Amino acid sequence: MIYGHFFVKVGMEFRGILLIFVSAMIVLSVLSLFELSIAGISILVGVIGFILYRSKRQDLFGSHELSLPRFIIEFKMKPNWFWLVLPLIMNVLSLSIAALFLPEFFTHLQERTEVALSFQVIFLLIIQLTVMALGEEIAWRAFFQKQMSHFMPIAPAILVTSIFFTLGHFAIGPTLIVGYDLVFILINSVLYGVIFHKTNNAWMSALSHFVANVFAVLFVLMI
């Protein structure tokens, strides 16, 4: 009985530590609304939280959310391409509409991303997009969304995750342009959340995220 109480206490303390990481990610994302561009730190916080969460179960690279072999197997077994390409389709739609009716959107997009991305060297840009896509999926889907799903059904867990993920991408600009930008970020975040939920593999949602981002960046470079 004593040992049982001990392990329950340790488990509760560990859960409290994870909630601190989740809370830190929320605060860092919300601070974007106050022109503090430090939301990127939330990715690092989430990745560290994920490592703690999985290492506690001694399966950091086992058959779970970060298993590359499992990703390769599922990819070879013809994954649900509809969900995987849907974020790309949304980017095609949003950028096409912007090109026709909101050309100022591209200036806003460049200003929002130039801090994190190097547009001068394509090879470096691809590496940055790869690291960012995987990092965001580990932090926001494999960790944050996973923790939210312990407290609420998966649909609101995906939505809550997407709201804070979107806030982390907030950048000052004209209301219409900023709103347009955030709406499509929110939609794609929900889609990444669904992909992760269906596959339980961050590599799969990261692949979808990476492809959508590459298209967006190349589109902007060609404008």
The structure's pTM equals 0.90
C-alpha span between 135 and 209 (Å, rounded): 11
| Rounded-to-integer distance, Cα 8 and Cα 59, Å | 21
pLDDT at 10 exceeding the cut of 50? no
Residue 223 has pLDDT above 70, yes or no: yes
Q: What is the mean pLDDT of the chain?
A: 88
Stretch 127-137: mean pLDDT: 93
Least confident range from 13-22, 61-70, 99-108: namely 61-70
Residue 60 confidence class, pLDDT cut points 50, 70, 90: low
Answer yes or no: is pLDDT of 9 > 80: no
Q: Encode pLDDT of 163-218 as tens digits.
A: 999 999 999 999 999 999 999 999 999 999 999 999 999 999 999 999 999 999 88
100-106 contacts, C-beta under 8 A, 24 or more apart: 102/176, 102/177, 102/180, 104/174, 104/177, 105/177, 105/180, 105/181, 106/220, 106/223
Which residue pairs from 173-177 have beta carbons closer than 8 angstroms and sit at least 24 positions apart in sequence?
173/108, 173/111, 174/104, 174/108, 176/102, 177/102, 177/104, 177/105, 177/108
